[in-house]
Amino acid sequence: MSPTKAVPARDRLRIAIQKSGRLAEPARALLSACGLSWRESRDKLFCYGESLPVDLLLVRDDDIPGLIADGVCDFGIVGRNELEEQAAERQRNGVPEAYRAVRNLGFGGCRLMLAIPEDWEWRGAEQLQGLRIATSYPAILANWLDALGVDARVVELSGSVEIAPKLGTADLICDLVSSGATLAANSLKPVETLLQSEAVLAGSTRAPDDARAGLAAMLLRRLDGVMKLKDRKLLMFRAERRNVPELERLLPDADPLTHLPDGGDSIALQTMCHGAITWQRLEELERAGARELMVLAVERALA
Ligand code: ATP
Ligand code: ZN
């Protein structure tokens, strides 16, 4: 095989993802599912795309919005929280928008929440007047307070926000919450949601007009295919005609049943199910007359 020819950067798409952390693995897995593969560099900061001219830049998540804004990367996989914080900061400083969330990716789910000491009673945002709120999301918090006309002090911290009330550096906090265990461990309770977040594919507001445009369209189409198939399973079984209405009732999250041509007394049926098919559901379907039940993973599809 001849060695891969070096192509100028503008002919290759560049995607920034988190180097390590919560979004690193799922981001790579998602891009792999889109048919991308890479050769890693020795410093593990750059992965050269092999199956397609799509390279990866492995960085801190905080750097991703800026890399897109500066045109260094075409796309990035980052939490909506990070994207919105940097967008809010740009907006507060009068800097024009430079990126946007192009797709929600269905992982990294969390909420940016206000949390107060467990023994406080929550009576609403007016209560925050004059208090100190520790956060790593000062711009989102400032916008939220401004919108409500509340004058509170935003104390910006880059980490360990949840211990600020204990240390006395703030009265309450505004931080990311998923299970709530960290809050509980620090005697805090969540009271208001400022932002519902998940990982997103972020892209530049200026679409490329060179070879990258076709690559970007292909990537998005494959991504849509992968996202559409998430949690979808093909369910196949046999049943007698008289049991079909009851079986349909047990499958509210599935497409209409397709009857497959068959000669016998029972008929073969199949459907695409959009929710989880647990053992319990299979047993329920069996009790309702389904036979030879089979659940198949759907690997790829183009709509
Ligand atoms: P980096 O070294 O890249 O700056 P980080 O410490 O800022 O890493 P992580 O803790 O890995 O980032 O979190 C990355 C993203 O994961 C967050 O920005 C958020 O979108 C998402 N996330 C999901 N659940 C949580 C959670 N419970 N706490 C923090 N982030 C969460
Ligand atoms: Zn970070």
Whether residue 8 is contained in a domain is answered as: no
Is 101 a pocket residue for ligand 1 (Cβ < 6 Å)? Answer: no
Whether residue 79 is contained in a domain is answered as: yes
Same domain, 189 and 75: no
Same domain, 104 and 114: no
Q: What is the pLDDT along the chain (303 residues), one digit of tens a residue?
A: 444 444 444 789 999 999 999 999 999 999 999 999 999 776 789 999 999 999 999 999 999 999 999 999 999 999 999 999 999 999 999 999 999 999 999 999 999 999 999 999 999 999 999 999 999 999 999 999 999 999 999 999 999 999 999 999 999 999 999 999 999 999 999 999 999 999 999 999 988 888 899 999 999 999 999 998 887 899 999 999 999 999 999 999 999 999 887 666 788 999 999 888 999 999 999 999 999 999 998 888 776
Measured from the CA of 80, which atom of ligand 1 is nearest?
20
Burial grade of 157 (CB within 10 A; 0-12, 13-18, 19 or more): middle
Whether residue 5 is contained in a domain is answered as: no
Expressed in angstroms and rounded, the spacing between residue 33 Cα and the centre of ligand 2 is 25
Measured from the CA of 178, which atom of ligand 1 is nearest?
27
Same domain, 89 and 216: yes
Measured from the CA of 22, which atom of ligand 1 is nearest?
11
Same domain, 174 and 203: no
Expressed in angstroms and rounded, the spacing between residue 21 Cα and the centre of ligand 1 is 7
Expressed in angstroms and rounded, the spacing between residue 57 Cα and the centre of ligand 2 is 15
Cα(239)–Cα(249) distance, rounded to whole angstroms?
A: 14
Is 60 a pocket residue for ligand 1 (Cβ < 6 Å)? Answer: yes
Same domain, 214 and 85: yes
63: Cα separation from own chain's centroid: 18
Query: What pLDDT is stored for residue 213 in this prediction?
Result: 93
Same domain, 132 and 219: no
Name the strand (E) or helix (H) holding 3: none
Whether residue 263 is contained in a domain is answered as: yes
Expressed in angstroms and rounded, the spacing between residue 60 Cα and the centre of ligand 2 is 6
Same domain, 218 and 260: no
Measured from the CA of 109, which atom of ligand 1 is nearest?
23
Could you list the residue range(s) of the whole structural domain that residue 258 is in? 233-297
Same domain, 74 and 33: yes
Same domain, 77 and 204: yes
Query: What pLDDT is stored for residue 5 in this prediction?
Result: 45
CATH number at residue 272: 3.30.70.120
Same domain, 33 and 175: no
Task: Quote the crossing angle between the two packed helices 24-33 and 212-229, to the nearest 10°.
Answer: 100
Q: How many domains does the chain have?
A: 3
Whether residue 82 is contained in a domain is answered as: yes
Whether residue 189 is contained in a domain is answered as: yes
Query: What pLDDT is stored for residue 42 in this prediction?
Result: 67
**Tokens standing for residue 84:** 């919105």
CATH number at residue 42: 3.40.190.10
